[in-house]
Amino acid sequence: MRWSTMHIPTLRDDPADAGAPSHRLLLRAGYIRQLMAGHYSLLPLGQRVRLKVTAIIREEMNRIGAQEFLMPVMHPAELWIKSGRWELMGDELFRLKDRKGADFVLGMTHEEIISTLATEMESYRELPQLWYQFQTKLRDEPRPKAGLMRTREFTMKDSYSFDLDAAGLDVSFLAHRDAYVRIFERLGIPAVPADASSGAMGGSTSTEFICPSPSGEDLIVRCPECGYAANIEKAMSRLAAVDDSERAGLPAAPEPFATPGVRTIEDLAVQYQAPADRQIKTLVYFLDGVLTLVLMRGDHALNEQKLMDATGATDIRPAQPEEIRDALGALPGSLGAVSVTGHPIIADEALRGRRGMFTGANTDDTHLRGVDVERDITVGRWAPLREVAAGDACLNCGHGLEVERGIEVGHIFKLGYKYSDALDIRVSGPDGKPVKPIMGCYGIGVERAMATAVEVHHDDKGIIWPVAIAPFEVVVVIAQQEDAAVAAAGEQVYQALLGSGAEVIVDDRQVRAGVKFSDAELTGIPFRVTVGKRGLAAGTAELTDRAAGSTVAIPLDEVAKHVREAVAGA
Ligand code: ATP
Ligand code: MG
């Protein structure tokens, strides 16, 4: 390809409103353009990278025996009503009507459709099946952001497994896990498999592949000692035991005391000798519309996803102060659950068995001391709700945990029977009786993977693509285009590289060498061969390695061989 005829609209300056490096650089280097918030066009360089990413994923899917499908983007609402997701998915699901008034959805994933296709299987002998596709997903994300990282329209490789039993699902799940490890390695994305919440998708085991990056929206908890890794929505840590025995003789019933002006855990701790780990923090949430009290130890934070996982609620929000006052008779700062009976109460496991505790009295400026959680509070449900904090002890080995930002690039789930039940997938079993297959589902966001690779591989001059997904392996820069001898030598080098099978672009524009160099750096092409006057006199060209920043002189007639070696060694 020739730079002079390709559409590569690089920008001299950073675009406004692009914060994340990948957003900024993909725009600047002429890979993407925004159509509207959350919807991007890929320009020729962007599409070349996307095709390389999909090719790698496709190879690894085929390698584990998965078969490629292609399912429609638009689905009849009926199937989504059957699966329950018409209700469950709320505003994230794009819905539309056709001219006859019938309801449709735009697929955010394809469980309903793949499951419908799976109903044609007849016998357990056809299992296992691994089916996948690359297809556009549409999601009405509340906050599209960071360029390709979170869009409303993106390509997903989604795959689905059907097995005879749970042991079979384990095998399919592990095959995917291994394939994902290989895929991210080949894409140059250092993703860590981490335990994750299954969220609204249902199912049991789920693993997210998270690439550590300050631009990420997820928090990943990691143990540097034993390798434990989990999304903070799921992560657990070891809690030091608290000794309440000296509190046993304390009041036989909770004792109110005046706490004027006390609003926070800290206020109560400092002014009334009530250490935070002796306090009960009372949070008030609406869970699917039901006002619910959520109790945490004073020094612990609630993780909302854990609350959703524990209760199955899909729509949660903190209650407003007025709503709280109407329900409990006090404002935040003096809330408690002692003697509350009219509202469900869910408590974190760390409060189990605790005595001699402090909490609000549901009267403004009043607290209670001597609270025995199990004696004085009608806890309807106990659950692990606490969010792990950096420095907490690892559940496996006791070492201090680290908390880091990361980007979720892939997600694999054991789905179980949710869709086999909803869409009635049955095959005849070994004994002739019908059995329902057990399912798994597995997703990688293609454009998010591209953005993530840029987050990990860039410098202040631009992108530094891993060779495997670069739009071109090598760019030939003709330093003095106006010099006929240089131009001819550059053309010869270009032809030699083409002939050797290299993926090469020649920068044959009538612009200054400096512009060509900075565009080569900005676009992140891994190798640059510079043909210029000075080298030509000596019969050499320069080979520059974008990642290493190193340049060596090589004989003009051996460029193809040197580039081949450099590409192979990268
Ligand atoms: P997130 O928590 O980031 O919203 P998710 O849990 O909704 O992701 P899945 O439904 O598991 O994502 O989708 C599988 C993969 O699709 C994700 O791991 C990610 O790579 C990609 N993906 C999901 N949502 C988006 C989006 N809005 N834009 C781009 N890629 C996405
Ligand atoms: Mg999402």
What pLDDT digit, counting tens, does each position of 339-376 carry?
999 999 999 999 999 999 999 999 999 999 999 999 99
Q: Is residue 564 over pLDDT 80?
A: yes
Structure tokens, 403:
């908390």
The closest-lying atom of ligand 1 relative to the alpha carbon of residue 139 is 27
Tell me the CA–centroid distance for residue 92 and ligand 2, in Å. 9
The closest-lying atom of ligand 1 relative to the alpha carbon of residue 449 is 20
Tell me the CA–centroid distance for residue 441 and ligand 2, in Å. 15
Q: What is the pLDDT of residue 420?
A: 96
Q: Is residue 151 over pLDDT 60?
A: yes
Tell me the CA–centroid distance for residue 187 and ligand 2, in Å. 22
DSSP single-letter state for residue 37: T
Exposed e or buried b for every residue in 529-562, given b needs 16+ CB within 10 A? bbbbeebbeeebbbbbbbeeeeeeebebeebbeb
Mean pLDDT for all residues in the chain: 95
Measured by CA distance, the residue closest to atom 11 of ligand 1 is 411
Exposed e or buried b for every residue in 108-134, given b needs 16+ CB within 10 A? bbbbbbbbbbbeebeebeebbbbbbbb
What's the sign of the alpha-carbon dihedral 157, 158, 164, 165?
positive
Q: What is the pLDDT of residue 201?
A: 54
Looking at the CA of 38, name the nearest ligand: 1
Q: Is residue 180 over pLDDT 70?
A: yes
Tell me the CA–centroid distance for residue 36 and ligand 1, in Å. 19
Comparing CA positions, the residue from 465, 467, 478, 470 lying closest to residue 2 is 478
Tell me the CA–centroid distance for residue 310 and ligand 2, in Å. 19
Average pLDDT on 484-508 reads 98
Tell me the CA–centroid distance for residue 230 and ligand 2, in Å. 17
**How would residue 248 be classed by pLDDT, with cut points 50, 70 and 90?**
low
**How would residue 198 be classed by pLDDT, with cut points 50, 70 and 90?**
confident
Q: Is residue 228 over pLDDT 80?
A: yes
Is the pTM higher than 0.85? The answer reads: yes
Average pLDDT on 480-503 reads 97
The closest-lying atom of ligand 1 relative to the alpha carbon of residue 158 is 14
Separation between Cα atoms, residue 318 and residue 322, nearest integer Å: 12
Measured by CA distance, the residue closest to atom 19 of ligand 1 is 445
Compute the residue count for the chain: 570
Strand-pair partners of 459: 462
Q: What is the pLDDT of residue 203?
A: 57
Tell me the CA–centroid distance for residue 189 and ligand 2, in Å. 20
Average pLDDT on 15-24 reads 91
**How would residue 17 be classed by pLDDT, with cut points 50, 70 and 90?**
confident
Residue to substitute in 408, 413, 442, 447 for testing ligand 1 pocket (most ligand atoms within 8 angstroms of CB):
408
Measured by CA distance, the residue closest to atom 3 of ligand 1 is 408
Separation between Cα atoms, residue 236 and residue 282, nearest integer Å: 21
Tell me the CA–centroid distance for residue 445 and ligand 1, in Å. 6
**Range from 58-62, 85-89, 420-424 carrying the lowest mean pLDDT:** 85-89
Measured by CA distance, the residue closest to atom 31 of ligand 1 is 445
Q: Is residue 558 over pLDDT 60?
A: yes
Q: Are 393 and 400 in contact (CB under 8 A)?
A: yes
Looking at the CA of 206, name the nearest ligand: 1
Tell me the CA–centroid distance for residue 408 and ligand 2, in Å. 10
Separation between Cα atoms, residue 359 and residue 366, nearest integer Å: 9
Tell me the CA–centroid distance for residue 502 and ligand 1, in Å. 34
Q: What is the pLDDT of residue 26?
A: 98
**How would residue 245 be classed by pLDDT, with cut points 50, 70 and 90?**
confident
Residue to substitute in 110, 156, 441 for testing ligand 1 pocket (most ligand atoms within 8 angstroms of CB):
156
What pLDDT digit, counting tens, does each position of 82-106 carry?
999 999 898 999 999 999 999 999 9
What pLDDT digit, counting tens, does each position of 303-346 carry?
999 999 999 998 899 999 999 999 999 988 899 999 999 999 99
Separation between Cα atoms, residue 291 and residue 298, nearest integer Å: 21
Q: Are 392 and 411 in contact (CB under 8 A)?
A: no
Separation between Cα atoms, residue 279 and residue 300, nearest integer Å: 10
**Range from 15-24, 185-194, 201-210 carrying the lowest mean pLDDT:** 201-210
Tell me the CA–centroid distance for residue 409 and ligand 1, in Å. 7
Average pLDDT on 197-219 reads 84
Measured by CA distance, the residue closest to atom 14 of ligand 1 is 443
Q: Are 187 and 169 in contact (CB under 8 A)?
A: no
Average pLDDT on 474-503 reads 97
Q: Is residue 539 over pLDDT 80?
A: yes
What's the sign of the alpha-carbon dihedral 140, 70, 63, 168?
positive
Residue to substitute in 446, 448, 450, 454 for testing ligand 1 pocket (most ligand atoms within 8 angstroms of CB):
448
- In single-letter form, the type of residue at position 474 comes to V
Looking at the CA of 144, name the nearest ligand: 1
The ligand 1 site (C-beta within 6 Å) comprises 139, 141, 150-151, 154, 156, 408-411, 443-445, 447-448
